Amino acid sequence: MKLGMQGPDVAALQTLLADLGFDPGPPDGQFGWLTYEALREFQRAMRLQVDGVAGKQVFALLKDGNRLPTRRVHIVAPGETPTRILRRYGLRPEALYAYNSLRSLKHLYEGQEVILPQRLVIAYMADGDRSLKSLLWHHRFLSGVAGLWLQIGERQELVGSIPEQVAEAARERDLFLLPVLTNLGKGGYEGRLFRRAVGRRGPRQNLIGQLRRALQGAHGLILDFRDLALGDVSAIGRLLDGLKPLRRQLLLFLTLPARDLGRPWRGMFGEDYWALAEKVDGIILRFDDELKAPSRPGPIIDDGRCREVLARVLEAVPAWKVILRLPAYGWQWTGRPIKRFGFWPALAWENPEPAAYHQAVQLGGAHGWREDGARVDYVQDGPRRLWIETAKTMAAKASFVNKYNLAGLAVFALGLEDPRIWKEIGANHLIRKAGNNW
């Protein structure tokens, strides 16, 4: 459909656009200039070709509107200013600039529509009481909680269950409960466990049946398989096809490694990744790996590298389904003296170990912070160096959610993080809750 057309289909288009916060004027069935501009705004927000023509892809996205990055429309009251709007929702100015032009915000008038971004924020649980306490303290900044609670066993059986204490806390606080299914074995992530349980139809159907029973009371499922071969992409697709009936009642997310997605074999398998994205409600891009540290001291991923990888990834998967998963912990290394150029002393950093923010605070208080409060150098049985994610470094990467109009953000993991990050995340966008008609 395009400019100048009319009829009930145009009225349906106008209604769908209005439901998502794009103003096409009254739903009168006339494809006029207001509808044209609203459609172009929608295409721009979804990173589609901006031509003002509603085709198959536009309607597929509009009809799946409850699963898109959403916008809340604020109607300006008499005498209201941008500062009062920001104070009311607890946002910073950058949140308004995501969808509103600076010029329109300078001259607000009564009845004007101001668009506010609304996003999904998922927090992963870690082991220990500190993780649960963090959930209870910061739940107002969260949409849902996830955990590595389900694994594939040696006999293709489903191992694990959802902790009752976490399930009760999520239920009372209107949070999505999202268990993670992995191929984590005794020796780490094992590709053979995945291939045994998913590669053949019989075991795959048995696994799906077990998932139906295990997901009672949950709002969705996150698939996070690692140590896979290129040929396993098609096996993941078959598993998602089998889970299609579950998707009618539950959210379904697929975790993919951001560093690898879209690399040399993008041309061969890029279409497969786009097809996988169509079978799930969201793609969680993993920028961290809790079993493998960076090869040398430094942040797990800086904002420049994150921007570079994200721009490449968005060529292989649709931006409106992407959830950016960021690490909220750090690593510490032990230094070993070596000789460089024959006589100059230097240090080789080795034996990295994960570290939580509260550990960094203790060390920083005793030995002093470096690099704007993200690095600690100290001596304990030899020289040591620790890099940690802080509220400032997390906020820089979290800002990409609005910049690229992503579906949301995921944080790994509760109890390991700088608690100030939640205020930063909440100031960037409104938090979508389980009761918001996902």
Whole-prediction pTM: 0.87
422-437 exposure pattern, b = at least 16 Cβ within 10 A, e = fewer: bebbbbbbbbbbbeee
Angle, vertex CA 305, rays to CA 261 and CA 231, nearest 5: 10
What tokens appear for 314 in the block?
């968005």
Strand positions, DSSP E, 213-366:
220-224, 251-257, 282-286, 322-327, 330-340, 344-355
Residue 369 bridge partners (DSSP): 376
**Domain CATH number, residue 57:** 1.10.101.10
Please check whether residue 102 lies inside any domain of the structure. no
Q: Are residues 285 and 182 in the same domain?
A: yes
Specify the pLDDT at position 263: 53
Residue 411 bridge partners (DSSP): 123, 326
**Domain CATH number, residue 227:** 3.20.20.80
CA atoms within 13 A on the CB side of 29: 4
Strand 220-224 to strand 188-189: parallel, antiparallel, or no bridges (unpaired)? unpaired
Q: Are residues 277 and 317 in the same domain?
A: yes
Q: Are residues 258 and 373 in the same domain?
A: no
Specify the pLDDT at position 342: 59
Residue 27 · residue 18 · CB < 8 Å: yes
Q: Are residues 277 and 161 in the same domain?
A: yes
Please check whether residue 103 lies inside any domain of the structure. no
Specify the pLDDT at position 320: 84
CA atoms within 13 A on the CB side of 309: 20
Q: Are residues 195 and 291 in the same domain?
A: yes
Query: Total structural domains in the chain?
Result: 3
Helix (H) or strand (E) holding 385: strand 383-387
Q: CB neighbours of 352 closer than 8 A, spacing ≥ 6?
A: 293, 294, 331, 332, 333
CA distances from 165 to 148, 170, 171, 276 (A): 15, 9, 10, 33
Specify the pLDDT at position 264: 46
Residues of the chain with pLDDT under 70: 65-69, 260-271, 289-292, 340-345, 435-438
Domain that holds residue 307: 123-322+402-417+424-431
User: Is the peptide bond between 407 and the residue preceding it cis, with omega within 30 degrees of 0?
Assistant: no
Category of 112 on φ-ψ map: left (φ > 0), alpha (ψ -120 to 50) or beta: beta
Q: Are residues 367 and 220 in the same domain?
A: no
Residue of 228, 167, 172 lying closest to 197 (CA atoms): 228
Q: Are residues 37 and 144 in the same domain?
A: no
Specify the pLDDT at position 266: 43
Helices (H), 46-101: 56-63, 82-89, 93-97
Specify the pLDDT at position 146: 97
Q: CB neighbours of 366 closer than 8 A, spacing ≥ 6?
A: 378
Q: Report residue 248: phi and psi, to 5°.
A: -70, -25
Specify the pLDDT at position 240: 93
**Among residues of the chain, what percentage have pLDDT more than 90?**
45
Helix (H) or strand (E) holding 431: strand 430-431
What tokens appear for 89 in the block?
């929702």
Q: Are residues 317 and 379 in the same domain?
A: no
Specify the pLDDT at position 267: 39
- Tell me the per-residue pLDDT of 258-307, one tens digit each, with 9 for 90 and over: 776 655 444 344 457 888 888 898 999 988 765 567 778 888 888 888 88
Specify the pLDDT at position 438: 44
What tokens appear for 243 in the block?
């889970």
